[in-house]
Structure 1
Amino acid sequence: MKRRSFLSLGAMTAAATLRPRVASATTKDIRLPSPDTVHVGGSRRIEIGGGHWVWTKKVGSGSTKVLLLHGGPGADHRYFEGFEDFLPPNGIEFYYYDQLDSTNSEKTNDPSLWTIERYTDEVEAVRQGLGLDQFYLLGHSWGGLLAIEYALKYQQHLKGLVISNMAASSEAFVKHVSKIRSQFPESVRAELEHYENANKTDDPAYQKLLFEKLYKVFICRLDPWPDPVQRSLDGWNQHVYNVLQGRSEFEASGRMKGWDRWADLPKIKVRTLTMGARYDEMDPEDMRKMATLVAHGQSWISETGSHFAMYDDQQNYFRALLTFLQG
């Protein structure tokens, strides 16, 4: 038998085999979204100017809309995945987005773009691209810094602001994390100083010390870490972190050095929730103080959680957040 005849016969046989299965399905068995567009599960690229773009994704549907700003700097949206089990069931629509040079967004590898001012304007470009207005902005850690900056420049677009696990100045952060460090055993402090003095903070031994003495107690107290947290930090762009933060959590020697918005907090007029935790890198008293300085503030402090209280004090974290979002 010729090859062409064999292939034709095979195609006919396959079609005959499949045809009864297709015919057995009825219209009511299959639900399809509207055919007037290509469906991508809520993912979109947003142009942010200068020929650059970032990745975003819509999750859930509702009249209350929340844009999430991840931390790092240089981490990504993935550690927010736990929000999917809490916000959409309560009728809240939210948006992930990876900041420039983070996991799903454009990799420019251009440190000149990694400034507080440009990232703040990036958030506004994302807002415009998504068509959001009178929305809630939630920033966690470094994302909390950006949330403060955004509110000071663009708060006319906000319905409310959530500053999660971030103080109002880099000095306040360094002061508290230095206090934590002072409580480490002397041998641990000496070992940290050894690597720091040699400018080897990227050494695996130094990173292991950070994980054991700082991260496991003040970043996330669960063991093992939840999968979204682990994947997000595995993909952390350390170059972005080093340029903005510095060599490690114990200093703010990068472009965040000298950042201070304590005196400007009264300019924030929208409803604001500050969220902190007893075992956080950030001083929970700073979270309380910030809530008293904005015009319409309130605070929530976890008594058992850490920097990722959204996981290690999850039920209480989301109860407080949802209460705020539902007003």
Structure 2
Amino acid sequence: MKIKLLLSVLLTIVLFSGCKESKPVNSVKDNYLDFSQRDDQFTGGIKMIPISTPVGEFKVWTKRVGNNPKIKVLLLHGGPGGTHEFFESFDGYFPQESIEYIYYDQLGSYYSDQPNDNRLWTTERFVEEVEQVRKALKLDNTNFYLLGQSWGGILAMEYALKYQKNLKGLIISNMMASAPAYNKYAEEVLGPKLDPKVFTQIKEFEKNKDYSNPKYMELLLNHYYTEHILRFPVAEWPESINRAFKHLNPNVYVYMQGPSEFGITGDATLKDWDITAKLKTLTVPTLSIGAQYDTMDPKHMEWIANEVQNGRFLYCPNGSHCSQYDDQEHYFPGVIQFLKDVDNGTFKKAKS
């Protein structure tokens, strides 16, 4: 009797152990922080990538975070002449979702080479730089997502117009598709919302091209930037943002964008940039992000989402130009959902 009972127990154990669900091996989450099979383990993910330009060879700084064979997000910072430091808030959200992302300082930016040659600062050359970075990092349309914020959004759109075949997804964060439309929004909508005395003073400084006057920057910082760039008191701005502004290359910034965030001013080369007529040629899944208090018109960003062939709009009701900081509640869930939907094949075009 005891022998029969023992055999019965053993048989039950064998049967149920065979039905037990085994833990998946080599999952993305399990291997997300495993650098052991990577050629950048020695440097903690950092690579200085060689770049060929019409005026010589240079190197740009990149740093890869995590491993995910299907989702790799290359981050294009603003400026021009800014740094990857504007994106450091991503560290608080992407790793827990096992999203691989790559920090990248464009040529002329703080952690990369900084040649002093204005012939380099064109959108066309920056597009080719991004393509060289893509190839060096072995990104392709099975995994390559491009996320550009502000000037990085211009660069992302220009890259997609030429190389969308290489992309799995495109994210345009806080950037309109037309510099003249951006200037008009700043002049006719945002400017009049300022204290009339402040707005008059700002326009007087710009009329006289007195951009280096400390009073000019003080007015912008305390009355415009804290409303439309980052909606915290200046004393509460994150250290990463302060570091990014400290590291901004003014030579590149002023040459392309102009001396102020209050529109693209002076002789800036981006002043007449406009690709609104070309957006309809984009077929790659696209997320356009707009924020209520942004320097950019959120209605225009919604229009972008409907103008491209496969677009979605993400609205940040509490955000400004740096909504990756001042409206993380909406920004990151929306970005993460887009990445997962495209990856899962469940992405749907926005309703017109």
**Same topology, TM > 0.5:** yes
Range 250-259 or range 137-146, more displaced:
250-259
Partner in structure 2 of residue 188 of structure 1: 198
Partner in structure 2 of residue 175 of structure 1: 184
Counterpart residue identity of residue 169, structure 1: S
| 1:311 maps to 2:325 | yes
Describe the superposition over 1:47-94 as per-residue Cα deviations: whole angstroms up to 9, x where unpaired: 110311110000111121100000011110011111112112111111
* C-alpha distance in structure 2 between counterparts of 1:187 and 1:280, whole Å: 22
Partner in structure 2 of residue 97 of structure 1: 104
TM alignment of 1:200-215, pairs within 5 A: 200-215=210-225
**Deviating 4+ runs (over 6 angstroms):** 34-38
| 1:78 maps to 2:88 | no
Could you list the runs of 5+ residues in structure 2 that have no partner in the other structure?
1-33, 342-352
Counterpart residue identity of residue 47, structure 1: P
Scaled by the length of structure 1, the TM-score of the pair is 0.87
* C-alpha distance in structure 2 between counterparts of 1:183 and 1:250, whole Å: 13
| 1:153 maps to 2:165 | no
TM alignment of 1:7-156, pairs within 5 A: 33=36, 39-49=42-52, 50-63=56-69, 64-134=71-141, 135-156=144-165
TM alignment of 1:166-315, pairs within 5 A: 166-178=175-187, 179-223=189-233, 224-252=236-264, 253-315=267-329
The structural deviation recorded for 1:190 is: 2.4
Are residues 269 and 34 of structure 1, via their aligned partners in 2, closer, same or farther at CA, if it must alter by over 3 Å? closer
* C-alpha distance in structure 2 between counterparts of 1:228 and 1:324, whole Å: 25
Scaled by the length of structure 2, the TM-score of the pair is 0.81
Are residues 37 and 70 of structure 1, via their aligned partners in 2, closer, same or farther at CA, if it must alter by over 3 Å? closer
Counterpart residue identity of residue 49, structure 2: I
Q: Tell me the SS of whatever aligns to 1:209.
A: helix
Contact 2:290 2:296 in 1 (8 A): yes
Q: Tell me the SS of whatever aligns to 2:132.
A: helix
Q: Tell me the SS of whatever aligns to 2:225.
A: helix
Alignment length, in residue pairs?
Answer: 297
Contact 1:76 1:232 in 2 (8 A): yes
Are residues 36 and 326 of structure 1, via their aligned partners in 2, closer, same or farther at CA, if it must alter by over 3 Å? closer
Are residues 38 and 266 of structure 1, via their aligned partners in 2, closer, same or farther at CA, if it must alter by over 3 Å? closer
Counterpart residue identity of residue 229, structure 2: I
* C-alpha distance in structure 2 between counterparts of 1:32 and 1:45, whole Å: 17
* C-alpha distance in structure 2 between counterparts of 1:37 and 1:306, whole Å: 35
* C-alpha distance in structure 2 between counterparts of 1:297 and 1:32, whole Å: 34
Counterpart residue identity of residue 62, structure 2: T
The structural deviation recorded for 1:35 is: 11
Question: What is the aligned-residue RMSD (CA, Å)?
Answer: 1.7
* C-alpha distance in structure 2 between counterparts of 1:217 and 1:98, whole Å: 27
> Percentage identity across aligned positions?
44
Are residues 32 and 324 of structure 1, via their aligned partners in 2, closer, same or farther at CA, if it must alter by over 3 Å? closer
Contact 1:46 1:56 in 2 (8 A): yes
Could you list the runs of 5+ residues in structure 1 that have no partner in the other structure?
1-30
Q: Tell me the SS of whatever aligns to 1:304.
A: coil
Partner in structure 2 of residue 8 of structure 1: none
Contact 2:35 2:41 in 1 (8 A): no
Are residues 35 and 56 of structure 1, via their aligned partners in 2, closer, same or farther at CA, if it must alter by over 3 Å? closer
Q: Tell me the SS of whatever aligns to 2:43.
A: coil
Contact 2:175 2:296 in 1 (8 A): yes
Q: Tell me the SS of whatever aligns to 1:62.
A: coil
Are residues 293 and 204 of structure 1, via their aligned partners in 2, closer, same or farther at CA, if it must alter by over 3 Å? same
Contact 1:218 1:279 in 2 (8 A): yes
Contact 2:301 2:313 in 1 (8 A): yes
Contact 1:61 1:88 in 2 (8 A): no
